[in-house]
Amino acid sequence: MSDPRQPGFLTRLRAGLAGERDTVYLEALRSAGRAAYDEILAADTLRDQLPSLWNAPPAAASQLLAAWNAFVLQTLGETFLDADYAARPGTAGYVPPVTYDQAAAWLHAVGDWVSRARQARANPEYDIAMHTVLPAPLPAWAEVATCPPEHLTALQAAVTPVREHVEVTLHALVKTGVPPQYESAVNRLHQDTAAASAAADYAAGLRTGRHHAGLHELIEQNLKHALELWFRVGQLAAMPSLLAGPRFDVWCMTDRATLTRWKQDPHARHALVEMWRTDPNPAATLAIQAQIDSCLQTGDLWYHVPKVGDTCYFEPPFSPLYEVRRPVRIYGIAIRPGAQFAVRGGANRGLVLGPFRPTRRVRYRTR
């Protein structure tokens, strides 16, 4: 296999014919993201020094959690690239578009978690839970009818290091005893860990030398389920204060009439978490909702119910449609009676002015 960082002419030619994408950008992300391994080592050292995780300072817990997330994402990104290079050595340095998108989603996120881990190391007052929604989900899986066989190899390769670190973290959590009020939550962590291990072991038992589409999909589903569970368990074990319940409701600006539907949509759940995670000033976004709530109480605003279609705007935070009854000023914008608007959240926060038309198209990312 040639050096994926220096592909030759024939490699580029074969990759072009196969429709593969150059990984020079991903390799740069991979190289920079190796700082995640330094952070997980520093986190392991810190964990050994703490008398107990239950009364660890917020900064220490923040460091442990951020280092864990960076480690898992870096591990997944690297295994996907390496598995593809091994499976197709003739195009090493290039990968199929679906592999590129998946590895990019993971490797892109590593730098942010490394930064948060280092901020926690530098500032004894740092609390990551005040800056992002936790526990964070894995970035969304790339959508494809059938994932390439090497994806299964990559997922399987990531299982061992992720599982081992989860077991270490859980042992550290319970070794000094579990406060009575957290016993049920810790039991659920053990249950989730057992479910993840069972899914990974079952997937390993399904592997065969012959290709079968049904088996391929079943293995993929089990491995993804295991990694998602471990990713969450690792965060909760690193910051056990999260076991007391969520500190923030990501659905607080979502239309109540359609809330159940959005909660059942995994893409919507991920979109909401990403919206709040990437919001540079969540307080400013929440301030818009506070202004709206105040106007609802005074009767200056009311909910707009279209004759046809849904009562919400199909973009995070999936806000209700509002109708102005008396002149109001929301987010610095003067709005006249009869006007309709909805709210867009995140980095592009603001008002979306109507009128609105029915649609089934959902924008899961804010523009």
**359 within domain boundaries:** no
How many angstroms separate the CA atoms of 281 and 219, rounded? 41
Q: Which pLDDT score, from 0 to 100, does residue 161 have? A: 94
**Residue 359 in 3-state DSSP?**
coil
Q: Which domain holds residue 328?
A: 256-353
Residue 208 or residue 67, greater confidence: 67
Q: Which of 244, 272, 302 is the last residue of a domain?
A: 244
Are 196 and 274 part of one and the same domain?
no
Are 54 and 180 part of one and the same domain?
yes
Q: Which pLDDT score, from 0 to 100, does residue 229 have? A: 94
pLDDT surpassing 80 at residue 11: no
pLDDT surpassing 80 at residue 51: yes
Q: How many domains is the chain partitioned into structurally?
A: 2
pLDDT surpassing 70 at residue 19: no
Q: Do the Cβ atoms of 278 and 308 come closer than 8 Å? A: no
Q: Which of 244, 269, 292 is the last residue of a domain?
A: 244
Are 301 and 273 part of one and the same domain?
yes
Q: Which pLDDT score, from 0 to 100, does residue 17 have? A: 61
**219 within domain boundaries:** yes
Give long-range contacts, CB 8 A cutoff, 24+ apart: 183-186: 185/236, 185/243, 185/244, 186/243
Q: Do the Cβ atoms of 336 and 324 come closer than 8 Å? A: yes
pLDDT surpassing 60 at residue 175: yes
Nearest to 48 by CA among 69, 71, 64, 70: 64
pTM: 0.68
Q: Do the Cβ atoms of 254 and 272 come closer than 8 Å? A: yes
| Residue 350 φ/ψ region, left for φ over 0, alpha for ψ in the -120 to 50 degree band, beta for the rest | left
**129 within domain boundaries:** yes
pLDDT surpassing 70 at residue 224: yes
Are 269 and 124 part of one and the same domain?
no
**364 within domain boundaries:** no
φ/ψ of residue 305, rounded to 5: -115, 105
Q: Which pLDDT score, from 0 to 100, does residue 144 have? A: 66
> For 36-40, 100-104, 177-181, 231-235, which range has the lowest pLDDT when averaged over its residues?
100-104
Are 42 and 81 part of one and the same domain?
yes
| 350-367 tens-digit pLDDT | 999 989 998 888 988 765
Residue type, 220: E
Are 169 and 288 part of one and the same domain?
no
Are 204 and 80 part of one and the same domain?
yes
Q: Which pLDDT score, from 0 to 100, does residue 101 have? A: 87
**Residue 170 in 3-state DSSP?**
helix
Q: Which of 244, 266, 299 is the last residue of a domain?
A: 244
**365 within domain boundaries:** no
Are 181 and 237 part of one and the same domain?
yes
Are 262 and 335 part of one and the same domain?
yes
